[in-house]
Structure 1
Amino acid sequence: MQSEGNGKNGQAATRVRKEHFWLMTICLLILAMVAIAMVLHYTQTIMIPFVLSIFIVSLVSPLLDYQVIKLKFNRTMAVCITLLVVLTVIVATCLAVSEAVQTVVSTVKPYMDSVETFTDKVFVQFEEWGLDLSQDSVMEELRKKIPNLVTDTFDTVMGFVSSFVLVSIFVIFLLSGRNPHVIRKGVYADIDNGIRRYIGTKVIISSITGVLVYIILRVLGLELAAVFGMLAFLLNFIPSVGSIIATFLPLPVAVAQFQNFWMISLAIVLPGAVQMTVGNVIEPKLLGRGLDLHPVTVLMALAFWGLLWGVAGMFLAVPITAVIRIVLMQFDTLQPVGRLLSGELPGSSDTGEKSAKGEAERRAG
């Protein structure tokens, strides 16, 4: 009896020690996350271009490796060619975004008259329904908000464009320091392959989405169709939230231009159908398990990195979180946290076995 009691006491003491261990681990993780978040927020001017350059290099590194290993190019020449391709894409993107913003800014004022005409009809309808709204105050608020919104958007975009100078510098050094003959294994290979696949697939899917949105709006006769197609391409890199924003962006222009319920509806519904089809049918098939992040994890990552780094953080949220998960899965102590990011609750043996099997299959693949 006494030995039985000692055994139970020993098990209870072991359980208490494990609980204390996990509490200490969780507290240390929270403190570390707070400290790291403060550092990342304070150094965002440098860290955002640096992280973005890492992802760019990860995407274009196969081009550099192919030139050196298969085509037998000189390493310096291969770096220069790869860098030229990267800079060409960056400059073209910056010019396109800048032109799009300038086009929107130049067309805002002419559309204000059309918006006022349409809103007059809307307020008349509200009055017929017995709703008493102050039209003058609403229009005054619109006049104040729209120019400020355009200016803020322009400042954000131009700040993002200017950061590409630092991105270019980082890309130059990262490409110069890469050795194509080194075979990468382990966690580095997992990160490199996973991020490359995700970004490459996202570029293809976003391009298809942008082109389809442009064609639809062009056929409908909507002005600024090219601008909205480009915005659909860019916003598609922000999971879930980006496609919703891109769907409703043409609404003000459609209201001002068509002033017809059915045409306005088509300008929203048809691009929305494209976004839903591509995002919910085509993209999952191309990505497969993807980066193995739960949808709730993705939304939380968008909120966290958006709060930390703004718009740029929302673009980088998913790949950064995926890298964090891959790193966490390398440590036995932190594996439950990594599994939690993929939607597996701690304490489930089945999910743990499935996760371990999935990790093994992914590495083997």
Structure 2
Amino acid sequence: MKQNKNYGIQTFFISIIGIVVVLYILKTLQHIFLPLIIAYFFVLVFMPINRFLSSKKIPISIATIFNLSIISVLIWGLISIIISSAAQFAEALPIYEKKFALVFAQYGKIFNLKEEEVSGYIFNRDNISQIFGGVFSSTMSFISAVFLILFYFIFLNTGYDRVLEVVKEKYSGLDDSRLEKRIKDIPAKIQSYIITKIFISLLTAMIIGIILYVFDVDFIVIWIVLTFLLNFIPNFGSIIAVILPMLTLFLQFNSISKAVLFAVFASVIQNIIGNYVEPKIMGNKLGLNPLFILFSLLIWGYIWGLAGMFLAIPIMAVIKILITDSDSETLTFISKLIS
């Protein structure tokens, strides 16, 4: 009995060390693993389309070219928005510098702040150059990562079905009902989550866009796109998507009441869609504990930054599916813990 207890403790600590080592490797080699994970999720998203094309006797190579065309158009659109956004901000900078001076003259004394110091820091040309330099550097890194994602996608997309066949053949002599269920569950649940999330994010972005238009907020296209993207990050994303245009509105019109009114309307919409509409449509498809969702956001955000926060939920859903109904008591316990 004592020996079994000691063995259990040893297994627990070895597992913890193993997890830490794996996370360290994922963080250190993120330039390899992150594009691979993104490419895998692209494969899952395009799987229904490819299944349909396959039923029409269209080769997977042609389907892959079609998939790549769609991905390329989406990425080109995103890069175009980033570039045009940087140009708009640069053009509007002198105007907002003057507006900031007016707002600061009115409210700065309340917080005992000196205008020269704050304004000099925010609108310092060196700081702005560093920001735009960082944006440019990030954009170039993003573009280089895109090529790696597309490279991985080609091989994953063309070889995915063959890998599944080999795995099924390997375990065909065993009780493979659980394996079969996992193979079906991972694509089905991730596809359902991503497609539903895209619909929910589009709906949110459209309604927020209408509110932005009514309030005549500057950079409306930027905020709509940002709202759509940030809605993929649970909890934190929707908060940021409200705060940024609210601050812009405050500077634009020098009106606290208008900024607060916008924040109220936008927050109400975010809450209605996030707490009522989304659960009705999505249900509990992934079956993840809300506390564990927060924990996974922090972990994957630390490992892979913003991209990790976008991928946190799908990654944890895959892990949950893989360890559910495991013969290991430890994995079964973890599965129940995160459910």
Q: TM-score scaled by structure 1?
A: 0.80
Q: Secondary structure at the match of 1:291?
A: coil
Give the 3 Å change call, closer, same or farther, for CA 211–155 of structure 1 in structure 2.
farther
**20 and 117 in structure 1: CA distance in 2 versus 1, 3 angstrom threshold:** same
2:48 to 37, 62, 65: 62
* CA shift digits 1:78-120 (9 cap, x unpaired): x423542x33332233233223322332233434543443444
Choose which of 177, 202, 220 in structure 1 pairs with 2:215: 220
Asked whether 1:87 is paired with 2:83, we answer no
1:235 is aligned to 230
Aligned pairs (5 A) from 1:1-365 = 14=1, 16-69=2-55, 71=56, 73-76=57-60, 79-84=61-66, 86-109=67-90, 110-127=92-109, 131-144=111-124, 148-179=130-161, 185-329=180-324, 330-333=326-329, 334-342=331-339
Contact residue 115 and residue 255 of structure 1 kept, 8 A: no
RMSD across aligned C-alpha pairs, in angstroms? 2.5
- Take 1:267 and 1:89, find their aligned partners in 2: how far apart are those partners? 35
CA apart distance, 1:61: 0.9
- Change in Cα spacing, 1:95 to 1:205, as seen in structure 2 (3 Å) is same
Alpha-carbon distance between aligned partners in 2 of 1:83 and 1:259, rounded to the nearest angstrom = 51
Greater CA radius of gyration, 1 or 2? 1
Relative to structure 1, is the Cα distance of residues 154 and 171 closer, same or farther in structure 2, using a 3 angstrom cutoff?
Answer: same
List gaps (5 residues or longer) in structure 1.
1-13, 343-365
Do the aligned residues in 1 keep the contact of 2:53 with 2:63 (CA within 8 Å)? no
Q: Against the structure 1 CA distance between its residues 169 and 284, is the aligned structure 2 distance closer, same or farther, given a 3 Å change threshold? A: same
With over 3 angstroms needed to count, the CA separation of the structure-2 counterparts of 1:108 and 1:64, relative to structure 1, is closer
Residue 313 to residue 263, structure 1, CA distance change in 2 (3 Å): same
* In structure 2, C-alpha distance between the alignment counterparts of 1:57 and 1:167, rounded to whole Å: 11
Secondary structure of 2:123's match? helix
Aligned amino acid, residue 216 of structure 1: I
Is the contact between residue 81 and residue 222 of structure 2 (CA under 8 Å) also seen in structure 1?
Answer: yes
Q: Give the CA deviation at 1:18.
A: 4.6
- Say if 1:83 and 1:288 are closer, same or farther in 2 by CA, change over 3 A: farther
Cα distance between partner residues in 2 of 1:94 and 1:27: 43
Match in the other structure for 2:174: none
- Report the residue type matching 2:116 in the other structure: D
**What's the secondary structure of 1:133's corresponding residue?**
coil
Q: Distance in 1 between matches of 2:316 and 2:271?
A: 24
Call closer, same or farther: CA 1:91–1:149 in 2, change over 3 Å: same
Is the 1:306–1:313 contact (alpha carbons within 8 Å) kept by the matching residues of 2?
A: yes
* Alpha-carbon separation, structure 1, partners of 2:88 and 2:129: 11
Alpha-carbon separation, structure 2, partners of 1:34 and 1:314: 19
Q: Distance in 1 between matches of 2:133 and 2:290?
A: 33
Contact 2:246 2:259 in 1 (8 A): yes
> Secondary structure at 1:293's aligned position in 2?
coil
- Judging changes above 3 Å, is the alpha-carbon distance between structure 1 residues 157 and 242 closer, same or farther for their aligned structure 2 residues? farther
User: Following the alignment from structure 1 to structure 2, what is the Cα–Cα distance between the partners of residues 93 and 74?
Assistant: 23
List per-residue Cα deviations over 1:15-70 (Å, max 9, x = no partner): x445323322220111111111121112211211111111111111111112222x
Query: CA deviation digits over 1:166-213, x for unaligned, max 9?
Result: 111222222212449969822221212111111111111112122222
Which amino acid in 2 is paired with 1:321? M
1:156–1:99 distance in 2 versus 1, CA, 3 Å: same
Distance in 1, Cα, partners of 2:132 & 2:239: 19
Task: Report SS of the residue matched to 2:217.
Answer: coil
> 1:122-153: per-residue Cα shift (whole Å, max 9, x none)?
444453x5x53222111122124555445434
Which 5+ residue runs of structure 2 have no aligned equivalent?
A: 169-178
Q: 1:177 to 1:115 in 2, by over 3 A?
A: same
Deviations 1:304-332 (A, max 9, x none): 11111111111111111111122222233
SS in 2 for 1:167: helix
Hey, what's the Cα distance between the residues in 2 that align with 1:290 and 1:147? Answer: 45
Q: Tell me, yes or no, if the aligned pair for 1:191 and 1:323 is still in contact at 8 Å.
A: yes
SS in 1 for 2:221: helix
**TM-score of the pair, normalised by structure 2:** 0.85
Deviates more, 1:325-334 or 1:58-67: 325-334
